[in-house]
Amino acid sequence: MHYTCKYLSPLGEMTIASNGDSLTGLWFDEQKYFGATLGREQEERPLPIFDQTKEWLDCYFNGSDPGPIPSVAPEGSPFRLAVWEILKRIPYGKVITYKDIAEEIGRQKGVPGMSAQAIGGAVGHNPISIIIPCHRVVGSNGSLTGYAGGISKKVKLLALEQVDMSGLFIPKKGSAL
């Protein structure tokens, strides 16, 4: 059983999901892959984890580092879980590249390299937006790509965190990266 509630952020309405103890989802409504890990059985119910998450999000959207994240339990393959674990370690106000993540996963697996595209797929399917900060991942050339909530939201989230965006750009449609 999954439990859900709504949160109205400055960037639009969001849905929060939980297994009763930990977060299992946080999506901007209508984003790509919305609710992909939600089962058929859902119930709206107030839970302490929802209160903690809303307080964390309120602090975040007020432009402050909200500190430690609420308890999370994302559902995914071992590969995706490993990628999401790396995302959780990206500091507030900083970015890393898909290539950085690919190199770290390669080190963990003892292989010379990993596909940045595979990393991009795992990052894009992150079910707990903002709290597991997939918006902090950029292309190795500084391109702002690959945010399921939309590039405009990614830009606003990075600006909210006061990320130095002087070397970042939005690629033109159809351009090769």
* Residues acting as catalytic residues: 134
Pick from 51, 27, 54: nearest CA to 38: 27
* Distance between CA atoms of residues 147 and 111, nearest Å: 27
* Distance between CA atoms of residues 51 and 133, nearest Å: 20
In the block, residue with structure tokens 């609710």? 35
Pick from 176, 115, 116, 123: nearest CA to 149: 123
Q: How far apart are the first and last CA of the chain?
A: 41
Pick from 155, 160, 148, 157: nearest CA to 171: 155
Contact 24, 129 (CB under 8 A): no
* Distance between CA atoms of residues 52 and 23, nearest Å: 10
H-helix or E-strand containing 8?
strand 2-9
